Amino acid sequence: MFAARQAFNVAQRRAFSASSRQSSKVAVLGAAGGIGQPLSLLLKLNPRVSELALYDIRLGPGVAADVGHINTKSTVTGYDPTPSGLRDCLSGAEVVLIPAGVPRKPGMTRDDLFNTNASIVRDLAKATAEAAPNANVLIIANPVNSTVPITAEVFKARGVYNPRRLFGVTTLDVVRASRFLSQIKGSDPANESITVVGGHSGATIVPLLSQAGYELTKEQLEAYVNRVQFGGDEVVKAKDGAGSATLSMAMAGARFAESLLKAAQGEKGVVEPTFVDSPLYKSKGCDYFASNVELGPNGVEKIHEVGTITPYEQQLLDVCLGDLAKNIAKGVQFVKENP
Ligand SMILES: NC(=O)c1ccc[n+]([C@@H]2O[C@H](COP(=O)([O-])OP(=O)(O)OC[C@H]3O[C@@H](n4cnc5c(N)ncnc54)[C@H](O)[C@@H]3O)[C@@H](O)[C@H]2O)c1
Ligand SMILES: O=C(O)C[C@H](O)C(=O)O
């Protein structure tokens, strides 16, 4: 028993040092926010991260001083809210996470955030395109359906767009989908893997429960789909004006970053759902679409097809594509008019 445990510990240490051999600088823009702080904490706990770079328009160095006391090996630096601070934060980053932007209040849609967040994301995308053009860029700021196209347009304008390295973070939708199903079934959510496709807002979020091989009654199914599509609203309402999901989002963002680092460090078969430049529905005006994506050392390795779906799911998808095309076009238009 003791020998077996010792062998296990040695194997674990070897696996750890194999992953920690490769250095990874991860930058968080918006690090002092509701998402940014717990996300920075989770990244500090990740042995795949060797350097954590934290930027915000307020409190970046404060959050870094706090997180930096945690006794894991990575370095932590907080940067001043100046152009050179932002440049230094980004320089050499392999992964850039962008949760900077305002959250919803009750009664708002994610699209209502567009007027404020579009220019925040555009400006941070400009800085990233200049200081870290080869980084994997993970967009968390809403509305993701528009902020991802905004980032792409900024990179295109500078001749550094790599569609394999730009990701809208939709992980929270699958986290919710598995959690909510487990609450119906009384199962462990860790065993519930639900494919969710489309985008990241209301009707553009399409859970494909039929692919999980589990059947609900029509009423249960409709209630389930509605809960996954509007899970964000549940949190916004419960926080009653103080913001939207932050803790579950930090977990989801950290999970996606971890998957990307695993794939970058050579692990095979790493698949996550994410909103990316995708061939699947370009013919319907959707240049970006979320589906399961295999990640690799160069970012997107393989985009999975949506697969077989029921007529009900097809109806959901049709509604999704109509809304999504408009959200994407709005982001593209914004950068054309406000370069
Ligand atoms: N993709 C998702 O699944 C998902 C989930 C939850 C929230 N969100 C979105 O994430 C965003 C952030 O949410 P939050 O709850 O952390 O908000 P928050 O207001 O608590 O934090 C936002 C942070 O961004 C900072 N910031 C603003 N402008 C900046 C700039 N130009 N540069 C750097 N930092 C800047 C603010 O100072 C603040 O610290 C919102 O748009 C929210 O809708 C997305
Ligand atoms: O609901 C929101 O506005 C935040 C986020 O997109 C979420 O899904 O929780």
Q: Which of 201, 213, 214, 145 is nearest to 173 (CA)?
A: 201
Which member of 25, 122, 200, 227 is catalytic? 200
Reported as a single tens digit per residue, the pLDDT across 268-324 is: 999 999 999 999 999 999 999 999 999 999 999 999 999 999 999 999 999 999 999
Which pTM does this prediction carry? 0.94
Token pair for 29: 């823009």
Task: Give the residue whose CA is nearest to atom 1 of ligand 2.
Answer: 232
Atom of ligand 2 nearest to the CA of 236: 1
Quick one: tokens of 92?
């050499």
Domain 23-168, CATH homologous superfamily name and number: NAD(P)-binding Rossmann-like Domain (3.40.50.720)
Query: Are the CB atoms for 295 and 272 separated by under 8 Å?
Result: yes
Query: Per-residue pLDDT for 176 more than 60?
Result: yes
- Identify the CATH assignment for 171-337 out of 3.40.30.10, 3.90.110.10, 3.40.630.10, 3.40.50.10420: 3.90.110.10
Binned at pLDDT 50, 70 and 90, residue 17 comes out as very low
Ligand 1 centre to CA of 100 (Å) is 4
| CA-proximal residue: ligand 2, atom 7 (nearest) | 232
**Rounded mean pLDDT of 95-115?**
97
Does the C-beta of 142 come closer than 6 Å to ligand 2?
yes
Query: Does the CB atom of residue 110 touch ligand 2 within 6 A?
Result: yes
DSSP 205-265: EEEEGGGGT----HHHHHHHHHHHHTHHHHHHHHHTTS-S--HHHHHHHHHHHHHHHHHHT
101 C-alpha to ligand 1 centroid (Å)? 4
Q: Rounded to an integer, what distance in angstroms lies between the CA atom of residue 143 and that of residue 149?
A: 10
Give distance in angstroms: CA of 242 to centre of ligand 2.
Answer: 13
Six token digits for residue 228: 């996954």
CA 225 – CA 313 distance, rounded (Å): 10
Query: What does the pLDDT average to over 84-98?
Result: 98
- Active-site residue 200, yes or no? yes
Q: What are the extents of the domains in the chain?
A: 23-168, 171-337
Listed residue (26, 49, 25, 274) closest to 166, CA to CA: 274
Which residue's CA is minimally distant from atom 2 of ligand 2?
232
